Amino acid sequence: MEQQIIDPLQNLNLEQQQQKTTEQKSLSPPPPQSLNEVEKMIGYDFKNKELLKEAFTDASYKTEDGVSYERLEYLGDSVLNHLIAKLHYVLYKSMAPGELTRLRAANVDTEALARAALKYDLHKYLRHRKPLLDVQIQEFMEGILEYPSHSYGMIDPPKVLADILESLIGAIFLDTNSSMDDTWKVVERLLQPLITPETLMQHPVAKFHEACQKSGLKPYANDMWNKTGEIEIYINDEVIGRGCYKLKKIIAVNRAAHDAYKNQFGNKDGGIGA
């Protein structure tokens, strides 16, 4: 599916750009709130409290024992993918593997998990020394106001939010003695509302490409991202779409494709839709 999205606008070089970051001085954030509150919110009491503590410790915090949530995040990612894949396999018996993959991806991608973490304010319990995190979360919250469900690549979710949720899932899995069933009881609540085939929408680039194919149109792009953070899309030497986002090229491309679709084909389905 990723290749299908990238192929239509290959000249844009859609590989996500790694933003160069400068070294930040370690600043001490406000003390995180009590992790006991997390247990109450998620409806699960940890037998091993150290697992919960580890799940909310970012590598930037630099504990004496060097513990961070990274290993739990790795585990939680695998557990979550298994749980969602199993759920969809059981619920949608006639759905093809490609469709199942697309549906699973929408439920477990960074934005979906970041939204769930934000809904429970999990970032307030994170031990970290990332001075820019609060600003990034605020920008994400503002983006959510424009896209109440899933933006499908139009906004930039802080990855740390998704990391927290995955590490929490990994911690629960270990604390339940590796019980998928017990872990799912908690995870299912955290991820509500899940994206279903009825609410799954189409990626803006794929949607624009498909509409152009049906109409016999051949779009091309003017890539100004390295200089201005902008992407322009043309049809017949006329600009029909623009997108700008200086931190990640892929988001600028998504925004340009969305704008181009809206201007060329209208917005009859109310936005980024199937």
Check for a shared fold between 35-190 and 202-265. no
Task: Flag whether pLDDT at 210 surpasses 80.
Answer: yes
Confidence (pLDDT) at 27:
44
Supply the pTM of this predicted model.
0.82
Instruction: State the pLDDT confidence band at 82, using cuts at 50, 70 and 90.
Output: very high
Q: What does the pLDDT read at residue 30?
A: 52
When pLDDT is averaged across residues 122-129 and rounded to a whole number, the result is 94
Question: What is the mean predicted confidence (pLDDT) over 182-188?
Answer: 98
In CATH, what class is 35-190?
A: mainly alpha
According to the CATH classification, is domain 202-265 in 3.30.300.20?
no
Rounded Cα–Cα distance for residues 261 and 210 (Å): 10
Q: Who wins on pLDDT, 63 or 22?
A: 63
Stretch 95-124: mean pLDDT: 97
pLDDT tens-place string over residues 220-271: 999 999 999 999 999 999 999 999 999 999 999 999 999 999 999 986 554 4
Q: Average pLDDT of 120-139?
A: 94
Q: Taking the domains of the chain in order of start, what are their residue ranges?
A: 35-190, 202-265
Per-position DSSP letters for the chain, written without gaps between them: -HHHHHGGGGGG--SPPPPP-------PPPPPPPHHHHHHHHT---SSHHHHHHHTB-GGG--TT---THHHHHHHHHHHHHHHHHHHHHH-TT--HHHHHHHHHHHHSHHHHHHHHHHTTGGGG-B---TTHHHHHHHHHHHHHH-SS--SSSS---HHHHHHHHHHHHHHHHHTTS-HHHHHHHHHHHTPSPP-TTT----HHHHHHHHHHHHT---EEEEEHHHHSEEEEEETTEEEEEEE-SS-HHHHHHHHHHHHHHHHH--TTSSS--
Mean pLDDT computed over every residue of the chain? 88
